[in-house]
């Protein structure tokens, strides 16, 4: 089957380069961000245009080959690569087009967050997205997209106006709220289940001066510091947001204010005194710098696992669980991360998009990070155990984008939404061609 696939691809005269096993670049081309994932596709096609994408889908279908679609390659479980099938890489489709007159920006299906910020921020605009600049716009947006300014401007999908999508039958369609409301609903949280998105169009938001406070506290003060942080954060307007990371050596707090800069000190400085004085500073910071500050910490090819969930609030039980779990962290870089939501995210009704969990006040993840393959089992076990302790059993929804375990879709969306998503999937992709994602199983198909 692999030989037939490769022959058809070679004959298809795609514009983008085709890399096969044995080629000098093959080992680089098959890599994804998470070093735990080590798969060997039969071929890697770097699409250079929409026609390449269409051909890749057609050929994978005609060979009944597994098709993996990669933008930023950040999928924790490695859903953007495969063994034996075709890896369709979109990184060449990374152009952006800013239209300040219309108040929009377009980004190709393979653009990174740094491309999107690069097009907008220097002009005083932004699209709310994630916190690491080498994340793909596509995977992040299709799952929802949360970050430091979500409380002010909502999730990334709340700025999405429309998208160009290549479906399982190879048709190229522009979808928005008018042309196909149900599919537009589905791609705002439903992941890559419905087709390959080759272009996104977003509404621009204004971004003025950004003020940031960053402090660290000893682990011994973490319980008190997190409790005070929770009380302070809930009194703050939506132009404020806070995230914190508990690791075995320290508690790190990052507070961001994008409102009137005259109030920045009042909004931020209390987070530098959560349990005595924290070590750190506050002040104005270029947004681009903030967005890339942690890029190196989350470098490609290290080994990662993540399991997360929503909290309504920061409860005493949650803080106890964090403080207890971090004492058994398997490596110094392993962490428990929490980011504040609410605000504009919660303004959107729960059933308005496929994304689930609008009413949550926080999103958290347990994230072991390590380098030695011999530590895989131990580190993953810690991530799972910590997450189990941190979970709030009262919240039924979850975020599909930051989970290293698969087959979680029905629980993450809940029964009603999952059923609606399955009906949509059955219309768009009845044979489940796009199954390397947090898969929504079409109604007639059995899981493969």
Ligand X SMILES: Cc1cc2nc3c(=O)[nH]c(=O)nc-3n(C[C@H](O)[C@H](O)[C@H](O)COP(=O)(O)OP(=O)(O)OC[C@H]3O[C@@H](n4cnc5c(N)ncnc54)[C@H](O)[C@@H]3O)c2cc1C
Choice from 19, 60, 82, 132 touching ligand X (CB under 6 A)? 132
Beta strands in 259-332 (DSSP E): 279-284, 303-304, 307-311
Task: Determine if 142 is a binding residue for ligand X (CB under 6 A).
Answer: yes
CB of 183 within 8 A of CB of 194? Answer: yes
**Residue 126, token pair as written in the block:** 């932004």
- 82 near ligand X (CB under 6 A): no
**Of the candidates 41, 73, 128, 189, which one interacts with ligand X according to CB under 6 A?**
73
- Provide the minimum distance between the beta carbon of 276 and ligand X in the complex, in angstroms, as a whole number: 29
Site string for ligand X, 179-198 (x = CB under 6 A): ------------xx---xx-
Q: What share of the chain is helix, strand, coil (3-state, %, to 5)?
A: 35, 20, 45
Round to whole Å and give the CA distance between 346 and 131. 20
Q: At what angle do helices 2-11 and 50-62 cross, to 10 degrees?
A: 150
Taking the complex as a whole, how short is the minimal distance between the CB of residue 101 and ligand X, in angstroms?
27
Phi–psi pair at 336, nearest 5 degrees: -115, 120
The residue within the footprint of ligand X, chosen from 354, 436, 440, 441 (CB under 6 A), is: 436
Does position 303 bind ligand X by CB under 6 A?
A: no
Segment near ligand X (CB under 6 A), from 65-73, 245-253, 267-275, 364-372?
A: 65-73
Please tell me whether residue 403 binds ligand X under the rule CB under 6 A: no
How many Å apart are CA 437 and CA 65, to the nearest integer? 16
Work out how close the CB of 266 gets to ligand X at its nearest, in angstroms, rounded to a whole number.
27
**Cα separation, 351 vs 335, whole angstroms:** 32
Q: Which regions of 41-84 does DSSP assign to beta strands (E)?
A: 43-46, 67-70
Decide: is 341 part of the binding site for ligand X (CB under 6 A): no
Q: Is residue 120 a contact point for ligand X (CB under 6 A)? A: no
Q: How far is the CB of 136 from ligand X (least distance, A)?
A: 2
Could you give the string, one character per residue 221-240, with x where binding to ligand X holds by CB under 6 A and - elsewhere? --------------------
C-alpha distance from residue 281 to each of 249, 250, 372 (Å):
19, 16, 34
**3-state secondary structure (DSSP) of residue 229:** helix
Chain residues 250-269 in contact with ligand X, contact rule CB under 6 A: none
387 binds ligand X (CB under 6 A): no
CB of 438 to ligand X, least distance (A): 7
Which of 43, 131, 210, 233 lies at the binding interface for ligand X (CB under 6 A)?
131
Q: What are phi and psi of 113, to 5 degrees?
A: -60, -35
- Of 145, 186, 189, 278, the one binding ligand X (CB under 6 A) is 145
Minimum distance, C-beta of residue 109 to ligand X, in the bound complex (Å): 3
State yes or no: residue 75 binds ligand X (CB under 6 A). Answer: yes
How far is the C-alpha of 6 from the C-alpha of 114, rounded, in Å? 33
Told to check if 130 binds ligand X by CB under 6 A, we report: yes
44 near ligand X (CB under 6 A): no
Measured distance CA(85)–CA(200) in Å, rounded: 26
> Residue 164, interface with ligand X (CB under 6 A)?
no
Going from the C-alpha of 15 to that of each of 50, 94, 197, 296, 334, the distances in angstroms are 10, 15, 18, 33, 42
Greatest Cα pair distance in the chain: 68
Binding flags for ligand X, 2-41, as an x/- string (CB under 6 A): -------------------------------x--------
Q: What is the enclosing helix (H) or strand (E) of 51?
A: helix 50-62
Give the C-alpha separation, 56 to 62, whole Å.
10
Positions in the binding site for ligand X (CB under 6 A): 33, 69-76, 79-80, 90, 109, 130-132, 135-136, 138-140, 142-147, 191-192, 196-197, 298, 401-402, 436-437
């Amino acid at each position: 089957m692999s030989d037939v696939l490769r022959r058809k691809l070679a004959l298809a005269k795609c514009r983008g380069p085709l890399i096969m096993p044995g080629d000098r670049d093959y080992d680089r081309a098959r890599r994804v961000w998470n070093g735990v994932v080590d798969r060997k596709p039969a071929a890697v096609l770097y699409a250079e245009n929409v026609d390449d994408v269409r051909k890749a889908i057609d050929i994978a279908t005609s060979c009944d080959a597994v098709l993996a679609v990669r933008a930023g390659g950040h999928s924790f479980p490695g859903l953007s690569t495969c063994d034996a099938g075709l890896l369709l890489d979109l990184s060449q489709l990374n152009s952006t087009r800013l239209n300040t007159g219309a108040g929009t920006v377009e980004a190709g299906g393979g653009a990174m967050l740094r491309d999107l910020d690069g097009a907008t921020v220097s002009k005083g605009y932004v699209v709310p997205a994630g916190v690491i600049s080498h994340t793909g716009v596509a995977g992040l947006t299709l799952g929802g997209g949360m970050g430091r300014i979500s409380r002010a401007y909502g999730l990334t999908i709340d700025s999405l106006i429309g998208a160009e999508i290549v479906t399982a039958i190879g048709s190229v369609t522009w979808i928005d709220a008018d042309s196909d409301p149900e599919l537009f609903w589905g791609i705002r949280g439903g992941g890559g289940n419905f087709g390959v998105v080759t272009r996104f169009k977003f509404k621009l938001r204004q971004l003025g001066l950004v003020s940031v406070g960053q402090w660290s506290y000893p682990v011994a003060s973490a319980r008190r510091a997190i409790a005070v942080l929770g009380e302070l954060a809930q009194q703050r307007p939506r132009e404020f947001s806070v995230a914190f990371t508990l690791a075995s050596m320290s508690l790190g707090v990052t507070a961001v204010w994008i409102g009137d800069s005259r109030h920045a000190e009042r909004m931020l400085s209390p987070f530098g005194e959560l349990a005595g004085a924290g070590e750190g500073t506050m002040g104005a910071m270029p947004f681009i710098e903030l967005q890339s500050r942690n890029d190196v910490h989350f470098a490609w090819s290290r080994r990662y696992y993540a399991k997360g969930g929503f909290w309504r609030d920061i409860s005493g039980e949650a803080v106890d669980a964090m403080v207890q779990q971090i004492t058994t962290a398997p490596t110094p870089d392993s962490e428990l991360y929490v980011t504040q939501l609410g605000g504009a995210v919660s303004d959107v009704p729960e059933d308005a998009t496929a994304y689930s969990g609008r009413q949550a006040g926080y999103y958290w993840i347990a994230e072991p990070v390590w380098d030695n393959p011999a530590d895989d089992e131990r580190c993953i076990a810690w991530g799972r155990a910590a997450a189990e302790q941190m979970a709030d059993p009262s919240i039924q929804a979850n975020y599909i984008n930051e989970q290293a375990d698969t087959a979680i879709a029905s629980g993450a969306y809940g029964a009603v939404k999952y059923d609606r998503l399955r009906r949509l999937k059955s219309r768009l992709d009845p044979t489940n061609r796009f199954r390397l994602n947090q898969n929504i199983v079409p109604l007639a198909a059995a899981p493969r």
